Chains A and B, each alone.
Chain A
Amino acid sequence: MNKEATVLFDAPGPRARARNRMMTIVSSVVLLAILAAFIWRFDDKGQFAGQYWSPFLKWTVWKEMILPGLGSTLKAAAVASVLAMLFGIVFGLGRLSDHWWVRIPAGAVVEFFRAIPLLILIFLAFFVPNKISPTIAESQFGTLQRVLVENFFSLFGVQINAGTVVVPAFAAVVFGLVLYNGSVLAEVVRAGVLSIPKGQAEAAYSIGLRKNGVMRLVLLPQAVRVMMPAIVSQLVVLLKDTALGFIIAYSELLNAGFNLVPANYHNNKIQAGIVIAVIYIAINMSVSRFATWLEGRSRRSRKTSGKTLGTGTGAPPAPGMIVGGATGATGGAVV
């Protein structure tokens, strides 16, 4: 019996036991009925036929469609995770700066990218450079654009042809993921540093360290342990969000499974969807397990004086929602 359940009911007496048994029977019947109706419908449309399922038993389907898709998903997630971490550290520490001319722009950037849907950011990167680059190429910034694309953005496969910039879907997905998740991670970094008791910074200043030393030697090492679980669970969100690449036809796992396989094997979309979902769930659940393990480890640890940001912390409150006092529940959402 889990922890919160014991809060709500006693060890049941004879009448409660009878009532619970009734509820067990009724709910089982209802759930089974829903399942049966679904299976019946599934069978009615002939979706159990072997031709729909057998492709997933063939090695070529895995080797040529699903595994390369999984590879692209993991590649986008890995590149975006690293860059989002960098973005998060820079902007999270930027928001903590003592200089208003660093703090305010950093805050504005973070709040702006958190307020816009990720898909819109991906569209921005995918469609907009292509349309505006010819105009830029003719203006005085043309050379700057060419140098930037050739020397930096080409790392992500961005190309420039006679002044027109072409952004591949991979780069667009990574761009969106970095800006959105980086902004969320910036808030996590800020919350992590703020969670270290004030005495730590005061003690560090009193032994003569400067701002840089206080942050680098005292606050950050402790904050990293505090925020590790929240960071890892944000990475699960990032991995799930790579699936948005489907909409701009990035050849990731969802596209490979949901478009490619059905196109070749009798349009078996439901079956493909189920197989793909199992892969996503397996990966995400193992990463979540890891985050929970980290959380327990960090809670027990004596190497930090801060209070661990739980795996459920996720995105800190949206703008305007910071509530003073300790009345609210700490658990949030990682949506």
Chain B
Amino acid sequence: MFDFGPFFDNFHEILEGFWATIRLAAASAVLSLIIGTLLASFRVSPVPVLRSFGTGYVNIVRNTPLTLLLLLCAQGLNDTLHLTFSESSSTTYYWWAVLGLSGYTGAFVCETLRSGINTVPLGQAEAARSIGLTFSQSLRMIILPQAFRSVIAPMGSILIAMIKNTTVAAAASYAEVALISKTLLDKPSFASGAIPLFIGVAIGFMILTLPTGFFFGWLAKRMAVAR
């Protein structure tokens, strides 16, 4: 039952799966922060069109299962509409997984950032206006820097959830660690290695998520806005 043989025989493959997970998570982290920040600035902007676009996007994306979003990206936009990123299908699936995951996470980043904007005292925005800054200037230089610093901890929770959500990309034909585990578990010869595989994958995810948590906890304390 605790036969680690099959696990170590396929260790290379599993590590490659984790490497794919890390690449997906890293690209999605950057892109989802960008999308989330853009959406949040849309949602607080004085332009009604952008405001309603932001609200609509967040409401739609937040209430759709990630599995469905990733499937629509991989099988709908890619396979059916042939919107591809590259000649090679694995690169294209990778970028669709990144786009789907960061589009989904971006909606949550937006909502968190908006709650951070609410913690910035009214006086800050008023002071910014009174020295003549426009909306985009005050957002960029006064409001968002303070808002970001107050939401570092919840942002960390979102990134951790995002790292765990990379496994859903298994549905979108992206060969990350969950898909590789599934292929291994489907092999009859692998039967005795099922529990070691599970332990290995669980530890792998803990190695990814726990330090992220500690880092963001430390960062939040260090960057806290003293008021």
Contacts and interface: CB of A to CB of B under 8 A. Distances in A.
Contacts of B92: none
A321 B68 contact: no
Interface string B132-166: 00110011000100010011111011101110111
B44 A131 contact: no
A12 interface: yes
Interface residues of A: mostly helix, strand, loop or mixed? helix
Contacts of A31: 49, 53
Interface in A94-109: none
Contact of B115 (A242, A312, A315): A312
A117 B185 contact: no
B164 A136 contact: no
B59 A285 contact: yes
B100 to A, nearest CB: 12
B93 to A, nearest CB: 15
B41 to A, nearest CB: 9
Contact of B164 (A45, A116, A123, A281): A116
Interface residues of B, number: 93
B194 A247 contact: no
Interface stretch (A2-10, A53-61, A78-86, A207-215): A2-10
A258 B112 contact: no
A321 B44 contact: no
Contacts of B62: 284
Interface string A11-36: 01000100110011001100100000
Nearest to B71: A258
Contacts of B162: 335
Nearest to A284: B63
B81 A270 contact: yes
Interface of B: 1, 44-51, 53, 59-60, 62-68, 71-72, 75-77, 79-83, 105, 108, 111-112, 114-120, 122, 125, 129, 134-135, 138-139, 143, 147, 150-154, 156-158, 160-162, 164-168, 170-171, 178, 181-182, 185, 191-192, 194-195, 198, 201-202, 205-206, 209-210, 212-214, 216-217, 220-221, 224-227
Given A8-B46, A131-B185, A321-B217, 20 more contacts: A4-B114, A19-B134, A20-B46, A41-B81, A119-B167, A120-B202, A236-B63, A240-B63, A243-B65, A246-B71, A254-B68, A254-B71, A285-B59, A314-B157, A323-B220, A327-B150, A328-B151, A331-B118, A331-B154, A335-B162
